[in-house]
Structures are given as structure tokens and as C-alpha cells.
Amino acid sequence: MMMKLSILDQSPVSEGSTPAEALAETASLAIEADRLGYHRFWVSEHHAARGLAGSSPEVLMAHLAAVTSRIRIGSGAVLLPHYSAYKVAENFRVLEALYPGRIDLGLGRAAGGGALAARALQENRTGGGAELYELQIQDLLSYLYGAPDQSHRFAGLETSPQVSTAPELWLLGSSRESAALAARLGTGYAYARFINSAGGSMAVRSFRNSFRPSPAASAPQALVSVFAVCAETSAEADRLAASMDLSLVQLEKGHVSTGTPSVETALGYKYTPYDRFRIEDNRRRMVLGSPDEVRRQFTALMEEYQCEEIMFATLVHRYEDKLKSLRLIAEVCGLRGGAGVN
């Protein structure tokens, strides 16, 4: 099976850095990913999050697509319950018109922030839940791939601009329920192993077996996303991952993030025995190691999930280490543009 690799970047703000610097690093990373031969570059949506700068994936995507030439640019994800499906469709129609054949619309239903941010985003909205989310995706299918039929509550509504191509539609999730929804509606499915390491292969298998063709996709398309850190040696990768270990522990404790901690901060932190247990468990969501070790783990994941593609997020303190990880993975996995990089 050919290895197709993609990147999820959450625009993390490193300790001692600024959100503006984090967004600039995301753009620089996208340019390098484009050069190295990665397939997609997705950006996330988080609100009122001091440690993550990406709150508006559509706006950031427009910039990333402008500074790259080949790589697909997408959202990982637009948190659809906060918004009008019609407005999301028109935003992505504009992106598709500007960058035809390069835009992905990834959808999620998480809050992306605390309760206060969610209330502010949905101030005038009533109702919600899984049924509304499914209805919103059905609406998006109509808006992006045709027009609402005569039975629709907005029958005859057109979506602007009118273009001959459409974004790829993906549903992001970490459960059998999200896999079933993607299969039922005929979208791509991205399993977030970096959120939930248990049961993913069964979810993806269920998605494939139950997939119903739609205007968005004629055949099932799946990817699995993980955290990944690659370095010259496994010991160095393990050291760099200490920043991610502490970030995840603090997130689980509900601490307000002030940025991705440095390795020195992480190694000097006074962990409790339960913290150590959580770190060990969280490492199941990560791919860590030397180039050869990372390639073997990616290959094993592709076989386990029977998926066409691996997407990864790299949460380390120094941008230089993230860039080096990206380049090492490209080289060892044989991506176009990855040979001989430093």
C-alpha cells in the first residue's frame, strides 16, 4: 500500500512565544510541506485558547493556499454546530473558486473551547445535538454539490459563487458513531487516534462496510490522525515529546495553557504517580522515534486501519524541531521532494 502522508497543524503557541508567531510558523510549515510532497495540510479551530492560535480555519486556509502551489489545504475541523451550514458552504465555495481542486472541508462537532465560548458562538441558536448536526451535514451536501430539492425547507436556494468543482467533504471523529454518520452521509472519514487510541480500526472498518455513495464521494476514503515526533534518534524523539506529555497532562487537569512548554520546563515538572500513568496512556496516541521507527509505526497503522493515508500533528516547543521532524519523515517515507533534505 502506497504511503500517503498529511499534516494537521493546530498553530500551537510555544512558551515564550506569541500567537502571531505561531500563525507565521503554521504558514512556513505549510510551504515546507508543499515542497516536500505531503498530500494535505489541515488547520484546526479552537476558541478562547491561549495555547492554540487557530480560531478561524477558513481565514487561515486562504492564506495557506495562497503561499503554496500543490498541497491540499483543509479544515481540521470547522465546528459546524456553531454556524450556519449555508454560510460555511459559501465560504468554502469561495476558497474552491480561488484554489480549485485543492480545498478540503473537514467537519467536527466538538465545542473547540469552554462553555462560555460555546455560548457566545451560539448566542441566538436554539436546539442542537446529534440530529441537528446530521441535518447540517445533509444541508451542506445540498449546498456544495447541487441545490436543495423541492422538499427542502430552502427549496431552490443557490450557493454562491457558482463553480464547476467542489471541496472534498470529510467528517472528523473518534468513535463508531461518527464513523456510522460518515458512512450514512457518504463523506470521507478521518479517525482522530490522537484523541482516542481505542477502537479506531473497528470504526474505520465499519465506515468502509457501511458506506453509501453520495454526491461528495463515490467510494469510501479514510485516514487516521496521530501525534508524531521524529528525530535522529529515538532518545531525542522521546526527549522532545516531553513537551507534549506535559501539555496533555495540564489539559486533562483543566489548567489554562500558557503555551507549549519547553523540554526543560517539562523535564523539571513535579509529576504525580497518576500523572505518570496518564503520560504512559497518552503515549498510545503518539508515533515517536527515529526515522526508521516512525516509518515502521506508520506502516503498521496503515495495515491496522486499512486506510489510504496517515495524518499527523507535531506538538513540540521549538519550531526548528517540528520542521526537522517533518523533513525526516518525508525522507524516510519516500515523499516526492523529501530525498536528501536536512
pLDDT per residue rounded down to tens, the chain (342 residues): 578 999 999 999 999 999 999 999 999 999 999 999 999 999 999 999 999 999 999 999 999 999 999 999 999 999 999 999 999 999 999 999 999 999 999 999 998 998 999 999 998 877 777 889 999 999 999 999 987 888 889 998 999 999 999 999 999 999 999 999 999 999 999 999 999 999 999 999 999 999 999 999 999 999 999 999 999 999 999 999 999 999 999 999 999 888 999 999 999 999 999 999 999 999 999 999 999 999 999 999 999 999 989 999 999 999 999 999 999 999 999 998 765 444
Residue 338: inside a domain: no
Instruction: Indicate the pTM of the whole model.
Output: 0.96
Q: What is the pLDDT of residue 339?
A: 56
Residue 328: inside a domain: yes
Residue 1 burial (CB count, 10 A): 9
Q: What is the pLDDT of residue 125?
A: 78
Residue 36: inside a domain: yes
Tell me how far apart the alpha carbons of residues 323 and 33 are, in angstroms, rounded to a whole number: 9
Q: How many domains does the structure of the chain reveal?
A: 1
Exposed, middle or buried, 208 (CB in 10 Å: 0-12/13-18/19+)? middle
Q: What is the CATH number of the domain that holds 187?
A: 3.20.20.30
Residue 220: inside a domain: yes
Place of cell 480500526: 201
Tell me how far apart the alpha carbons of residues 112 and 45 are, in angstroms, rounded to a whole number: 6
Query: Which stretches of the chain are DSSP H helices?
Result: 19-36, 57-67, 85-98, 115-121, 130-145, 176-185, 200-210, 234-240, 242-252, 263-267, 273-282, 291-305, 319-332
Q: What is the pLDDT of residue 342?
A: 45
Residue 260 burial (CB count, 10 A): 26
Tell me how far apart the alpha carbons of residues 93 and 109 are, in angstroms, rounded to a whole number: 21
Q: Reduce the DSSP state of residue 259 to 3 states and report it.
A: coil
Residue 339: inside a domain: no
Place of cell 515546507: 32
CA dihedral of 145, 148, 149, 155, whole degrees rounded to 10: -160
3-state secondary structure 225-256: EEEEEECCCHHHHHHHCHHHHHHHHHHHCCCC
Q: What is the pLDDT of residue 321?
A: 99
Residue 200: inside a domain: yes
3-state secondary structure 265-312: HHHCCCCCHHHHHHHHHHHHHEEEECHHHHHHHHHHHHHHHCCCEEEE
Its domain, for residue 250, covers 4-332
- Retrieve residue 315's grid coordinates: 506538538
Residue 342: inside a domain: no
Tell me how far apart the alpha carbons of residues 226 and 217 are, in angstroms, rounded to a whole number: 24
